[in-house]
Structure 1
Amino acid sequence: MSEIHLSAADGPLRAIPPLSALLAFERAASQLSFRRAARDLALSPSAISHQIRGLEELFGVKLFVRGARSVRLTAEGERYLANVSPALAALQDAGREMLRHRRDAGGELWISSLPFFTSTVLIPALGDFRRRNPTLTLRIEATHQYADFNASRVDVAVRYGREHSAGLKFEPLIEVKGLPVCAPALVKGGLRRPEDLSREVLIHLTTQPRTWPTWLEQAGIPDLTPRGHLWLDSVPAMLEAAEQGLGVTLAMAPLIRARPGFGKKLVAPFDAAAVSTMETIYLVSRTEQARDRRIAALRRWIVDAVSRASR
């Protein structure tokens, strides 16, 4: 009796791993970092590692050499990346073309924007956008997550800090720095100098745990111990908590001055000129859309909105 042994190589479908595993491998191989691959795909580093282990078990080879703080491709990994990358690029191009056709047909533009930037800069300028572009529909997603330009419908993103990504164009919109803000009642209670923060509750953003420690270090008081800590998951929530007198938070200056009620419900208790470290907010778009007239119109509107909000 004859026998048939079927391996992955014998069946074309069995030789194709799940798309999630291929994306995890391609991102990790291109970035040489499981952490950055996880950020790009909105997954955890352990999930990336699990996907890649599945590929290695399927093919019976090691794709990466894992070090204590870094990874590098094996010869098999380099060969597989050379074959996988063009295939994924073709799939991405096909998906982008479908999404672009749908957007063009419906006249839609999608923005992924930081929540604070959305509420302080974009929303007050929406009337101006409608006047300038009456045939376009604007869709805004307010989120701290990095936009996935490969798999989503996002046309442009507004992000704090620059992260390297191939195929994306980063245009600086404005430089900002942390400014302590609080309710006027705390100032009346004696909050006049950075050292007085030891009597207050510091309000933190959960996704940026180093913001306050970095600010205190730059202010020359790295060992300051506050009365307490309050952790919240969005900048608008932090600002509202500060307005309610629950503590002191760090806001983005000069944009915070455009927030309704600044100077009344929310004030800067002292001059923070000594803290001069600036960060940049960027407008991010695909390099391939540099000449897209709709993107150009969106860019001009956002730049003008930033200019008005930062006066």
Structure 2
Amino acid sequence: MLRSDDLLVFVRAAELGSLSAAARVLDLSPAVASAALKRLEGQLGARLLARSTRSLRLTAEGEGFLQHARSALVSLEDGQRQLVQGRDKVSGVLQLSAPSDLGRNVLLPWLNELQQEHPLLNVRLLLGDRNADLFRQPVDVAVRYGTPEDSSLVAVPLCPDNRRVLCASPAYLARHGSPGDLQALAGHNCLLYQLGDRVYDQWRFGEGASEITVQVKGDRFCDDADVVRRWALAGAGIAYKSWLDIAADVQSGQLRVLLPELRGEATPLQLLCAQRAPLGKPIQLLRDLLKVRCQVLMEQLKLLSQ
């Protein structure tokens, strides 16, 4: 079997007219280059280069073999390049579950971008605010807020610093004013979120010994977090939402953050997996994309809090 490095020594020596020059270009010692050429000639049973102390030239056999050697090297390079490109191509199915608000308004455009970069990737997205059963539902991973109650799930942090923020539309604030402190929330219509049988009408701020809980009330509540966001956008009241869910609305001016100096309730974003096996390539890409994009949004929240 002919060695590709031996072929390369022969081709470079023929092109440069010098075995020592070929050795320098290939970062080889003259002895190693000479041994490579001798090995090649021995395997072929033909002398390829006529050498003297001052010159080197192709023999008739060498001239006939040179083009074949070049073609073989080009073919090997093409094959190697295709292998590398093949490893970069991501295919298969990415099955994931995500909260309704985050999924529709944040995750969806990011997934579109991921598929544009990897057109062989198929995405199956299940939206809902109830926790997905990764052992029964047809999903590989779930994107969820908070710490999973099921200890059998593996949680991969995506945005551990995410928090809830108070927000309202400019139209609502123009009619009712902006609360000057947490106690003032009692005089405002607060938009409530329901998960299961529980209505979240106690809003927590701070943490540990400095945690404050405020009882709020309002004229509407929903078990779909995206509906709560839409009510806030429509000027129906004040919402207490995950920053990731409403960051784009704040940037566009449709919502304003209220009392930004307050530290809202921690709402870490996690990627949940049902087992500790290594993550597949599609899930790795999703994880990396979400980490980068969430970090950008968190930097914007830090600026608002200053």
- For the aligned residue pairs, the C-alpha RMSD in angstroms reads 2.9
* 1:179 match: 165
What secondary structure does 1:129 align onto? helix
Asked if the contact 1:255–1:310 (Cα under 8 Å) also holds between the matched residues in 2, the reply is no
* 2:99 match: 114
What secondary structure does 1:180 align onto? strand
CA distance in 2, matches of 1:114, 1:225: 24
Q: Which stretches in structure 2 are left out of the alignment for 5+ residues?
A: 1-90, 300-306
Q: Does 1:123 align with 2:108?
A: yes
* 2:287 match: 299
* 1:243 match: 233
CA distance in 2, matches of 1:135, 1:288: 26
* 1:269 match: 258
What secondary structure does 2:263 align onto? coil
1:282 CA displacement: 0.7
CA, structure 1 residues 129+197, in 2 after alignment: closer, same or farther (shift >3 Å)?
A: same
Q: Does 1:141 align with 2:126?
A: yes
Asked if the contact 1:206–1:233 (Cα under 8 Å) also holds between the matched residues in 2, the reply is yes
TM-score (norm: length of structure 2)? 0.58
Matching of residues 152-231 of structure 1 within 5 Å: 152-165=137-150, 167-174=152-159, 175-188=161-174, 189-193=176-180, 194-207=182-195, 209=198, 211-215=200-204, 226=217, 228-231=218-221
Count, aligned residues: 203
CA, structure 1 residues 133+222, in 2 after alignment: closer, same or farther (shift >3 Å)?
A: closer
* 2:23 match: none
1:224 CA displacement: 5.7
What secondary structure does 2:190 align onto? strand
Matching of residues 74-89 of structure 1 within 5 Å: none
Asked if the contact 1:121–1:305 (Cα under 8 Å) also holds between the matched residues in 2, the reply is no
CA distance in 2, matches of 1:223, 1:163: 25
Asked if the contact 1:171–1:282 (Cα under 8 Å) also holds between the matched residues in 2, the reply is yes
CA distance in 1, matches of 2:112, 2:194: 33
Q: 1:258 aligns with which of 248, 252, 275?
A: 248
- The ranges of structure 1 where at least 4 consecutive aligned residues each deviate by more than 4 angstroms after the TM superposition are 216-226
1:308 CA displacement: 4.2
The CA deviation string for residues 238-291 of structure 1, in whole angstroms up to 9 with x for no partner, is 0111111111111112552124x65522112333x3335423111011335414
Identity %: 20
What secondary structure does 1:173 align onto? strand
Matching of residues 19-98 of structure 1 within 5 Å: none
1:293 CA displacement: 2.6
